[in-house]
Amino acid sequence: MTPPVSRGRHNRKKKRTVRRRLPMRYLLPSVLLVALLAMLMLRGYVHSEILADHRVQAPAPTDQVPDSVLEGGPVIDARTAGGNARTLRIPDRKIVLTFDDGPDPVWTPRVLDELRKNHAHGVFFVTGTMASRHPELVRRMVDEGHEIGLHTFNHPDLSFQSTSRIDWELSQNQLVLAGAAGIRTSLFRPPYSSFSDAMDDKSWPVTRYIGSRGYLTVVNNTDSEDWKRPGVPAIIERATPKDGRGAIVLMHDSGGDRSQTVAALGEFLPRMQRQGYEFTNLTSALGAPSAHTPVTGFALWKGKAFIGAVEISEHVTGVLVVGLAAIGVLVMVRFGLMLLLSFLHARKVRRKDFSWGGQFTRPVSVLVPAYNERECIEATVRSLVASDHPIEVVVIDDGSTDGTADLVEAMWIPNVRVVRQRNAGKPAALNNGIANARHDIVVMMDGDTVFEPSTVRELVQPFADPRVGAVAGNAKVGNRDSLIGAWQHIEYVMGFNLDRRMYDLLGCMPTIPGAVGAFRRDALDRIGGMSEDTLAEDTDVTMALHRDGWRVVYAENARAWTEAPESVQQLWSQRYRWSYGTMQAIWKHRRAVVERGPSGRFGRVGLPFVSLFMVVAPLLAPLIDVFLLYGLVFGPTGKTVAAWFGVLLVQAVCAAYAFRLDRERMTHLISLPLQQILYRQLMYVVLLQSWITALTGGRLRWQKLRRTGVVEAPGGTTNRRKETERRPVA
């Protein structure tokens, strides 16, 4: 039947251009994803995981280096317009302690403590990566009277870099100082530098260029070699100037274990002060103006914004790491429980002597709520009348406009009745069906589902136990020949053969599937029937039955074949409704957590399980893929890939076991890796949208999926539509 045409939308005379907005369900997740990627990129940048260059230049000739530089002091001033450089030496009895590669959160504070204790000052050549992550230490250096110098942002050998990269390294380093301490500096020390006589034809052009940008290049003439960790006495000996001369001493406050450096300072400072040495800043030793100039205005706020962004990225990635650890634990605990409990459940119900209390042979009522199910309803009804258990079929037509009810009535099948009602939704249709049912056990199914001849019989056997109030059957995807159908097939097989077995043994089955479930009518009457409070009426009623003290169990052989969504849009709509409805049901039954008796047992076991494994875990699961991408780009690639494949292997083992329990062919598991990457992202966005809807107080209406009528039970005679008539997977 052709759907009615909207006049306002298709009337050409009144046609107008409508500006389409990007739906919020796409916009907000996209914004969050971009923000997350930006935070990860920034973290990678400030941790030298991107734009880092660890090459070190081999020694080169010195033909182009002036002799005055090679034989001069450790301070090189190439700021003159003509490019002529001069060098400066430190006066006698003065020592300028310089510390490279920091600030480090462990060792820099201890170095500063030693300097303060001995009333000494020094120069800290900081990298942008470290200073941006620990701005409080830069502020402390300035507050305690020390000088700051640049050591680039990412610590590359500048002789390999272009002038634009050099400018970038300097500007980013200055940006961090502006944000951390509100200053800029004129001091610079090249990474991997040594004495002035080590200047060569590769490093000299860099020094000249640095000078043209307004910087003093500071090398050293006394290397403590503390980076080798030779021991405290050796560090002190190498740091001691000869014959009372002035010196620029190279030390490190970062880059590894600096305990020997700190210990050496504790002895070196008072010893040299007793010998008449003064530990001072570079500009003080040279009698020059301070190297620091205040930063104000836009440059200051730009620096503060950068520091703030780095701090946020550190916190975000820290939270992500915790989240990844949490999801890792949840995944492993869940898979471990599923494997163990599903094995125990299968062994229990498959024993030859297992019985629910005798054969259940009483007739039952099968309720089929239908709204515009003309494509499917005939196959559904014919599958029911082929049942090997005595049944009556009640088709509740919920105001269909495609002739669904007329089609069923025209079939003229005994024990098949049609109940018509105005469109009121699925819960109302089910309640109407319950009111019209003749038997005390009611089976519920969807109008797009077909049963096997044994389905009803297998489904109602647990009612031989008077404690059982509801039974969940085994829903199977019939249209699994497309990629999106195969993904749902994997999900269904794992969900019904692992999750539901686990929940059965734990006594907290969260949902009786709408496609195949059975209820004791007395149990439904006690809880008020099918509720319209949530969009997941099947989850809502199942939780209510638990709270009322009824057992809810799983019947593995009660198979029903359902038509799963065939496009991303349809799948989105269905899962959005399911996930939002599940959240509604959890919230509705939240008081069970503090109640006593059966309700309390479900509240303290079932609700946490449902919340963790059906809401929280799927929401966090994409972190595995985010960190896979991060690890592939920034490293360590090998460990990242190994960890991801380890998780995939665990999932594959669980999936294979579920397929084995359900006697399914393993061929569809070929698409499991792709399912884990793409399908998981879709479920994440759906859950995120559901969270947003729940938090903003939004409402959803019940959504009807377009059906194709291609599903039939194995061995059925229902005509399939030709493959060429199938709608493509979106």
Query: What pLDDT digit, counting tens, does each position of 252-292 carry?
Result: 999 999 999 999 999 999 999 999 999 999 999 999 999 99
Alpha-carbon distance of 188 to 148, in angstroms, equals: 9
pLDDT at 10 over 50: no
pLDDT at 708: 56
Pull the structure tokens for residue 235. 């560090």
Alpha-carbon distance of 412 to 378, in angstroms, equals: 11
- Mean pLDDT rounded to a whole number for the chain: 88
Identify whether residues 160 and 204 lie together within a single domain.
yes
Pull the structure tokens for residue 542. 């199942």
**How many domains does the chain fold into?**
2
Q: How confident is the model at residue 17 (pLDDT cuts 50, 70, 90)?
A: very low
Identify whether residues 585 and 696 lie together within a single domain.
yes
Query: Is residue 225 in some structural domain?
Result: yes
Residue 134 burial (C-beta neighbours within 10 Å; 0-12, 13-18, 19+): buried
Q: Please give the backbone phi and psi of residue 212, each rounded to the nearest 5 degrees, phi first.
A: -65, -20
Q: Is the model more confident about 691 or about 168?
A: 168
Pull the structure tokens for residue 41. 């990129």
Pull the structure tokens for residue 19. 């500006």
Identify whether residues 222 and 330 lie together within a single domain.
no
pLDDT at 21 over 60: no
Dihedral of CA atoms 119, 125, 128, 131 in degrees, nearest 10, equals -10
Provide the CATH number for the domain around residue 473. 3.90.550
Q: How confident is the model at residue 9 (pLDDT cuts 50, 70, 90)?
A: very low
Provide the CATH number for the domain around residue 167. 3.20.20.370
Identify whether residues 556 and 650 lie together within a single domain.
yes
Alpha-carbon distance of 50 to 37, in angstroms, equals: 13
pLDDT at 89 over 70: yes
Percent of the chain residues past pLDDT 90, beyond the cut: 65
Query: Is there a contact between 451 and 383 (Cβ–Cβ < 8 Å)?
Result: yes
pLDDT at 696: 63
pLDDT at 724 over 70: no
Establish how many alpha carbons lie within 13 A of residue 17's alpha carbon, considering only the half-sphere containing its beta carbon.
1
> In the structure, how many helices (H) and strands (E) does the chain have?
28, 20
Query: Is residue 128 in some structural domain?
Result: yes
pLDDT at 3 over 50: no
- What is the SS3 assignment for 479? coil
pLDDT at 678 over 70: yes
Concerning whether 252 is annotated as a catalytic residue, the answer is yes
C-alpha dist (Å) from residue 667 to 65, 356, 581, 603? 70, 35, 33, 39
Alpha-carbon distance of 464 to 468, in angstroms, equals: 8
Query: Is residue 402 in some structural domain?
Result: no
Q: How confident is the model at residue 119 (pLDDT cuts 50, 70, 90)?
A: very high
pLDDT at 83: 63
Q: How confident is the model at residue 721 (pLDDT cuts 50, 70, 90)?
A: very low
- What is the SS3 assignment for 554? strand
C-alpha dist (Å) from residue 532 to 83, 429, 472, 528, 663? 83, 11, 20, 11, 37
- What is the SS3 assignment for 234? helix
**132-144 mean pLDDT:** 98
Identify whether residues 488 and 567 lie together within a single domain.
yes
Query: Is residue 397 in some structural domain?
Result: no
Least confident of 36-45, 115-124, 185-194, 216-225: 36-45
Dihedral of CA atoms 667, 668, 674, 676 in degrees, nearest 10, equals -120
Query: Is there a contact between 707 and 376 (Cβ–Cβ < 8 Å)?
Result: yes
> Averaging pLDDT over each range in 333-347, 600-614, 615-629, which range is the top one?
333-347
Contacts of 157 (CB under 8 A, 6+ apart): 53, 55, 56, 57, 191, 192
Q: Indicate whether this model's pTM tops 0.75.
A: no
pLDDT at 12: 42
Q: What is the DSSP letter of 505?
A: H
Pull the structure tokens for residue 162. 């272009």
pLDDT at 455: 96
**For 675, left (φ over 0), alpha (ψ -120 to 50), or beta?**
alpha
Identify whether residues 582 and 682 lie together within a single domain.
yes
Dihedral of CA atoms 284, 289, 295, 299 in degrees, nearest 10, equals -110
> Averaging pLDDT over each range in 296-310, 639-653, 673-687, which range is the top one?
296-310
pLDDT at 186: 98
Q: What are the tens digits of pLDDT across the range 534-553?
A: 888 999 999 999 999 999 99
Q: What is the DSSP letter of 161?
A: S
Alpha-carbon distance of 126 to 148, in angstroms, equals: 7
Query: Is there a contact between 286 and 88 (Cβ–Cβ < 8 Å)?
Result: yes
Identify whether residues 198 and 332 lie together within a single domain.
no
Q: What are the tens digits of pLDDT across the range 337-395?
A: 899 999 999 999 999 989 998 899 999 999 999 999 998 899 999 999 999 999 999 99
Query: Is residue 493 in some structural domain?
Result: yes
- Pairing, β 222-223 against β 247-252: parallel
Identify whether residues 455 and 506 lie together within a single domain.
yes
Domain containing 76: what range? 67-295
pLDDT at 707 over 70: no
C-alpha dist (Å) from residue 277 to 96, 220, 221, 619? 10, 17, 16, 63
Percent of the chain residues past pLDDT 70, beyond the cut: 90
Query: Is there a contact between 320 and 623 (Cβ–Cβ < 8 Å)?
Result: yes
Taking 3-state DSSP, the helix, strand and coil percentages for the chain, each rounded to the nearest 5, stand at: 50, 15, 35
Q: What are the tens digits of pLDDT across the range 294-312?
A: 999 999 999 999 999 999 9
Identify whether residues 182 and 331 lie together within a single domain.
no
Query: Is residue 154 in some structural domain?
Result: yes
Pull the structure tokens for residue 437. 């049912």
Alpha-carbon distance of 190 to 209, in angstroms, equals: 12
**For 229, left (φ over 0), alpha (ψ -120 to 50), or beta?**
left
**187-202 mean pLDDT:** 94
Query: Which amino acid type is present at position 540?
Result: D
Concerning whether 353 is annotated as a catalytic residue, the answer is no
pLDDT at 730: 30
pLDDT at 576: 84
Identify whether residues 655 and 699 lie together within a single domain.
yes
Q: How confident is the model at residue 201 (pLDDT cuts 50, 70, 90)?
A: very high
pLDDT at 7: 36
Query: Tokens 């009602």 belong to which residue?
Result: 421
pLDDT at 48: 79
Residue 695: in which H helix or E strand, if any? helix 680-695
CA angle 393, 395, 396 (to 5 degrees): 140
pLDDT at 574: 85
pLDDT at 81: 67
Q: Active-site residue among 47, 121, 134, 252?
A: 252
Query: Tokens 């089929």 belong to which residue?
Result: 368
Alpha-carbon distance of 490 to 480, in angstroms, equals: 9
C-alpha dist (Å) from residue 276 to 23, 116, 224, 273, 373? 74, 18, 20, 5, 98
Q: Active-site residue among 100, 397, 446, 504?
A: 100
Q: What are the tens digits of pLDDT across the range 555-571?
A: 999 999 998 888 888 88
Distance of CA 365 to the CA centre of its chain: 45
Across 28-67, b (16+ Cβ under 10 Å) vs e yields ebeeebeebeebbbbbbbbbbbbeeeeeeeeeeebeebbe
Distance of CA 563 to the CA centre of its chain: 30
pLDDT at 399 over 50: yes
Contacts of 173 (CB under 8 A, 6+ apart): 126, 127, 128, 131, 150, 151, 152, 153
**114-123 mean pLDDT:** 98
Query: Which amino acid type is present at position 137?
Result: L
pLDDT at 331: 79
pLDDT at 524 over 80: yes
Radius of gyration of the chain (CA): 37
Q: What are the tens digits of pLDDT across the range 246-262?
A: 999 999 999 999 999 99
Query: Is residue 558 in some structural domain?
Result: yes
Query: Is residue 700 in some structural domain?
Result: yes
Query: Is there a contact between 114 and 266 (Cβ–Cβ < 8 Å)?
Result: yes
pLDDT at 18: 45
Partners of 98 in beta bridges: 123, 250
Contacts of 110 (CB under 8 A, 6+ apart): 258, 262
Identify whether residues 206 and 338 lie together within a single domain.
no
Identify whether residues 332 and 201 lie together within a single domain.
no
